[in-house]
Amino acid sequence: MKKLTFVFIFALLASLTLSAQRDETVLSKTSLRITGAWGGPTLGITNFEGESATVAGGYGGIEFNKEFFVGWGGATIDLPTLDDNFSNPDFDYNGLVLGYTPAAHKVIHPSFLVLAGTGKASFNSIDDRAWVIQPAVGGEINVLRWFRIGATGGYRYVTGSELTILNDENLSGFFGELKFKFGFSWGKSDKYKSRNKDTDV
């Protein structure tokens, strides 16, 4: 009985000691902190077999350290109908979105984005799956504290589609895009804080 009581007291003291210690996490070790949340629609244009095609989509995610973005996004390319045997063509894709926006506190700042995921090409009720990776570079304007407008351009790499017309080469291509960004960002960036400290007398 005494042994059981001793074990119980030891376990209780050990649990209290461990609970008083702060758990280390990946975020705490890397000083990565959530500073905002953003999302919105996108509208763009691309090329397919020498014809223009519209790209409409959207995205949403979390901002870290005022500069990094992690979220999910996707789009649909409304492909042109080239002939009567090629009806209702489109290409849908979605995936993980990673972004980097240095100097986001400034009115105009650059942005770097990459989307990586899967897509589905279809026409005449025939579907095929493919892989997509889409890097882009551009800029943003802080219109309001909760609203930004961005313009980006990049290249869409598609692989894995085995359809005759909607093949990898035809679905891949350059694109331009407008991004409408709604959300909120709080706090100041580490670079902004350190610069203010340097200027303090």
Instruction: Tell me the C-alpha distance between 178 and 49, whole Å.
Output: 23
> Is residue 135 in some structural domain?
yes
Does the residue 133 lie in any domain? yes
Q: What is the pLDDT of residue 123?
A: 84
Domain annotation covers residue 17: no
Kindly state the average pLDDT of the residues 171-200. Answer: 76
10 falls within a domain: no
CA triplet 115, 116, 122: central angle to 5 degrees?
A: 100
pLDDT in tens, 25-72: 555 555 789 999 999 999 999 998 888 999 999 999 999 999 999 999
Q: Is residue 201 part of a domain?
A: no
Q: Give the structural domain span for 71.
A: 33-187
CATH code, domain with 78: 2.40.160.20
**Per residue in 68-92, pLDDT tens?**
999 999 999 998 877 666 777 889 9
The answer to whether residue 121 is domain-embedded is yes
What pLDDT, on the 0 to 100 scale, is given for residue 30? 58
**For residues 157 and 170, is the Cβ–Cβ distance under 8 A?**
no
Percent of the chain having pLDDT more than 70?
76
Per the structure, the count of domains in the chain is 1
More confident residue, 109 or 161: 109
101-131 residue pLDDT tens = 999 999 999 999 999 999 999 888 788 999 9
Structural domain includes residue 183: yes
Structure tokens at 45: 């244009």
pTM value is 0.77
Query: Please, what is the average pLDDT of the chain?
Result: 83
Residues 91 and 99: their CA atoms lie apart, in Å, by 23
The reply to whether 18 falls in a domain is no
What is the C-alpha end-to-end distance of the chain, expressed in Å?
68
